[in-house]
Amino acid sequence: MKFTDGYWQIRKGMTPHYAAQVHDLETDPASVTVYAPTKKLQGRGDTLNLPLITVRFSSPMENVIRVKIVHHKGARPAKPEFTLYEQPSNVKIINEENAATLTSGDLSVRIHKGEDWLVEFIGGNKVLTSSGWRSIGFVDTPDGRFIHEQLSLAVGENVYGLGERFTSFIKNGQIVDIWNEDGGTSSEQAYKNIPFYLTNRGYGVFVNQPDKVSFEVASEKVERVQFSIPGESLEYFIIYGPTPKEILDRYTALTGRPALPPTWSFGLWLSTSFTTNYDEATVTGFIDEMARRDIPLHVFHFDCFWMKEFNWTDLQWDSRYFPDPDGMLTRLKSRGLRICIWINPYIAQRSILFDEAAQNGYLLRKPNGDVWQTDLWQAGMGIVDFTNPAACAWFAEKLRALLHMGVDTFKTDFGERIPTEVIYHDGSDPFKMHNYYTHLYNKTVFDLLVEERGEGDVLVFARSATAGGGQFPVHWGGDCTATFESMAESLRGGLSLGISGFGFWSHDIGGFEQTASADVYKRWAAFGLLSSHSRLHGSSSYRVPWNYDEEAVQVLSKFSKLKCSLMPYLFRAAMQAHQHGTPMLRAMMMEFLDDPACTALDLQYMLGDALLVAPVFTHDGNVSYYVPAGHWTNLLNGEQVEGPGWRRENHDFLSLPLLARPNTVIPIGAHNDKPDYDYSQNITLHVFELEENQQVNVEIPNLNGQVETVFEVSRAKNIIHIQRHGPAKDWAVSVMGVKTNASAQTSELKIELK
């Protein structure tokens, strides 16, 4: 929200009160508390009729500093609040004549005691950002009171993140409201609004408020990021890196790590699409044809119309089209398929569940006690109140019956259109619940799956999220259109979401709205199968490849098989997301922070730490992309690519730039027909441009996410030396296209370079 008119003046009807200077400062072993009047004091009389702003500095974990700003503290705490996993550490506090400093790990906050307000955050012996003149304050407006902070931006500093945003990748110059909305991928609205950003200067900022946080990112004041909320208090955290990976490691430790999805979920998903006509025969026909055309398929998804129209959500199969759902699911699962079905948290008035939910108080209510209802989406629908433990248990039991029938997971759609003029069971603030609702919704479903399946076999396919929602993967990009432009904006959104603490992300291959041309579909298929998770889904038409052209069948087959063969590498990248919050799809700046050419790149990405992917977004097959320094190798054809520099290439539909990073070893599995197999059996280690005196450790996980086998690969002069540690299984090494086989008894191998 903007409060000023230009740099100097205040907007009409607004009265600001800024922290002017440090008047008093108190310390205890864990914190520093500052009392700041809103004008400079010349005498005792100035202390009368004057607001006092209290700012407390502390540390919830090492290298993280908490800042709590309060004007009036008498308001009763209102639910909800983000769950934080604090790890209190020892802090060092120095209170000197001119300044006080609190240090946590390598991060410090220095509060100056001079005539003007100045707080500096210092990491690695440099000032990362600061709160200065007219930064902290509250503003009385015609719409009520707002409180804000402004943090400085340095020359060349870029802001990234703030959730899955489809606008420009660098957020400088943008106005971002953290408010979940169902706006599609072609608007400034977002399904997943996360009040967290990081910059290329070595730190991140998490605003610990479920409210509607308004960010002015180098917009109202181009030298600062301002964030504001309605009310009397504001809390945020400065998180030190200095690298983006280290920032995300600490941020996700604080707000929750992504769970590790099961290996089967990384295969190809096929959906019925949304408004198409289908029954068991249709579904079986698709599956038969995918097998006949040699396209590995691993998950089948039933979208909305598995239930009868006007009855969503009743969680009952439409008997007109699915008269024998138990038998159908048994037949599908006998073919090795997993099953996903669509749900949402809205209960239509015609649903058999509506009366039961209404009578038991399981639906959101108006202030007068009536059930809140709308005709937007489903006629007369109500919304499940997930602040009511009984409602959560009731909803979970309805889903449990479907799990026992043979369903494996749920697409947890919607969760953004949550009204604010309602009453919650636990008294939660409906304004704060608007974004947080999706967290409770996805958590209810996720917890049920953990209870039924165990932690290693669980995921949802979710659209909406808030801070901490990355704990419940996977999330997909929402309603995109079937164009290259929408394909590109989807990628921007996914990269921004990854920077916001979400490790796993997917999108609708071919676009959701409209029907793609054959070339868009084929290019999107390659991109989709080089993403974390891969789903064919649309709105009004089936997304099976033969509906486009025969070459689309070849493209889908090739890249689905490629993804399966890459699973030893991809699942290790998934484990990194689970353990450290590093996303599988990584913006180039995350891996190459010191390369200024990577600063703004959003049409290419790193898949894990060793594969560069540049999707093709053109009808003619031309693609321009940037290659960082080193000797890179195209994984598909072995072509050597020299960096740093820009490349312009033309690719047919069976190809795209997919480059292996120098000084890396990529393990390729023995199976290309499924994602869940023994990754260490008959594995081939592909060594790429290993320099002398370099060593790479290749960790091979099992299906439970545990590393069982490690290969140490090193080079001394013209000798590549490989040492295996772990279970005895056949393996091989490929260097510059020359393959050397090793038996299960071989624990050490030396290869001479020619």
Is 678 an annotated catalytic residue?
A: no
**DSSP per-residue string spanning 55-97:** EEEEEEETTEEEEEEES---SPP-S------------EEEE-S
User: Which positions ≥6 away from 354 have C-beta within 8 Å?
Assistant: 347, 348, 380, 382
- The verdict on whether 356 is a catalytic residue reads no
Nearest to 414 by CA among 377, 362, 360, 372: 377
Per DSSP, the three-state class of 653 is coil
Closest CA to 266 of 579, 545, 609, 531: 531
Q: Tell how far CA 564 is from the center of its chain.
A: 23
288 is annotated as an active-site residue: no
Cβ-proximal residues to 708 (8 Å cutoff; 6+ apart), any chain: 680, 700, 701, 702, 726, 727
Element (H, E) at 165: none
Residue of 413, 513, 676, 689 marked active site: 413
Q: Which of 149, 164, 220, 416 is catalytic?
A: 416
Both structure tokens of 260: 């590790």
Strand partners, 145: 140
Quote the CA–CA distance of 420 and 431 in Å, as a whole number: 5
551 is written with which tokens? 């070459």
Structure-token match 């210092």, residue found = 122
Considering 479, 489, 513, 519, which one is annotated as catalytic? 479
Nearest residue to 442 (alpha-carbon basis) of 405, 402, 419, 415: 415
Q: Which residue bears the tokens 């609205």? A: 189
Residues 6+ apart with CB under 8 A from 701: 568, 571, 572, 575, 679, 707, 708
Pairing between β-strand 719-725 and β-strand 748-752 as defined by DSSP bridges:
antiparallel
- 8 A C-beta contact, residue 1 and residue 228: yes
- Please state whether beta strands 534-536 and 508-509 pair in parallel, antiparallel, or not at all (unpaired): parallel
CB 741 within 8 A of CB 732: yes
CA distances from 274 to 229, 271, 313, 411, 537 (A): 37, 8, 15, 12, 8
Render the burial of 458-479: b for 16+ CB within 10 Å, e for the rest. Answer: bbbbbbbbbbbbbbbbbbbbbb
Are the beta carbons of 128 and 202 closer than 8 angstroms? yes
Residue labelled with tokens 């693609």: 623
Can the peptide bond before residue 77 be classed as cis, meaning omega within 30 degrees of 0?
Answer: no
Contact 525, 561 (CB under 8 A): no
What residues form DSSP beta bridges with 640? 633
637 burial type by CB count under 10 A (0-12 exposed, 13-18 middle, 19+ buried)? exposed
- Catalytic positions: 413, 416, 479
